């Protein structure tokens, strides 16, 4: 392709066949540029979605930790209440 372009640069008159080839190459370059731009747009969207997913995971991990701590407190309180109830029942039996 480079050789053909160099040859065309040297011509003072460009034959119709060569003009058609130039137009075809220009159209192809435009299509390739559109594809590159669309791929970049899709890549940007994917990066944004990935970052949002990371934020969501961090947020949900924090929620999980808070729920786990709350559940542990409830279990501790229930165990204490069960122990107190057992002690009261043992006291009533004696």
DSSP string for 34-62: HHHHHHHHHHHHHHHHHHHHHHHHHHHHH
Helix 2-10 with 16-93: angle, nearest 10 deg: 140
* Alpha-carbon Rg for the chain in angstroms: 37
Domain count of the fold of the chain: 1
Residues 74-83, mean pLDDT to the nearest whole number: 94
pTM exceeds 0.85 for this model? no
- Domain residues for the domain of 39 are 2-93
Q: What pLDDT was estimated at residue 94?
A: 58
Render pLDDT for 29-71 as a digit per residue (tens, 0 to 9): 999 999 999 999 999 999 999 999 999 998 888 888 889 999 9
- Please report the pLDDT score of residue 88 as a whole number: 87
Question: Tell me: the pLDDT tens digits for 1-14?
Answer: 778 777 777 777 77
Would you state the pLDDT for residue 14?
78
């Amino acid at each position: 392709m480079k050789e053909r372009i160099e040859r065309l640069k040297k011509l003072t008159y460009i034959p119709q066949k060569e003009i058609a080839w130039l137009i075809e190459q220009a159209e192809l370059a435009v299509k390739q540029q559109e594809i590159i731009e669309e791929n970049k747009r899709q890549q940007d969207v994917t990066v944004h979605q990935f970052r949002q997913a990371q934020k969501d995971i961090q947020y949900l991990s924090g929620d999980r930790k808070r729920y786990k701590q709350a559940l542990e407190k409830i279990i501790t309180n229930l165990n204490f209440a069960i122990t107190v109830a057992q002690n009261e029942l043992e006291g009533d039996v004696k």
